[in-house]
Amino acid sequence: KSPCKSVRAMPRKLLRLYLSAYQSSLFDRLVDMRLATLEKIWPGDLAYKHVNGACFLVTDSATEQPRADSFEISPTAPLYGYKTKLAEGQAGLLEQSLLDKEQLTLESFHLSGGLAMSGERRPLRVPIQAPGCIMDGDDILVSFALPKGSFATTVLTEVMKTGALV
């Protein structure tokens, strides 16, 4: 069998899971590219309003930065799909460069057989709600809530990093 036929022979639900994991991996790579400046809004960013989930194009980052500083808005990155709107400016160049590196276009996600992925934009950072921390002997019990689509494992990875605390 050819590789394509082998992949198409997989159960659709499993194949969809693999495609979603790849889509998430691409998002994670974009987060890594902007990790040092997650709190910064760039001209051309598609910013996310935490209050309602709406996105808008940032034309003047100096005007919008105070809203980012107060966690009202955040920069976004795509979960790539055939309907995804890419950012403009420097953020858009990063998003397009990752597609180019992977030899993909947005149309690459317009797959047949019920596997098409339309895509969406997700914030690069999310507010941690109801944080808590309790010492229990040698253990630390951490609790928090996250918005839909966010992963506790990502938060815990950041919390558990070692190094000098400043």
pLDDT at 166: 45
Contact 133, 140 (CB under 8 A): yes
pLDDT at 102: 97
Contact 39, 16 (CB under 8 A): no
- Domains of the chain, earliest start first: 3-125 (3.30.2350.20), 126-166 (no CATH)
pTM of the model: 0.85
Per residue in 64-74, pLDDT (tens digit) is 999 999 999 99
By residue count, the chain amounts to 166
pLDDT at 113: 85
Angle among Cα 125, 39, 81 to the nearest 5 degrees reads 45
pLDDT at 162: 63
**Residues in the chain, pLDDT under 50:** 165-166
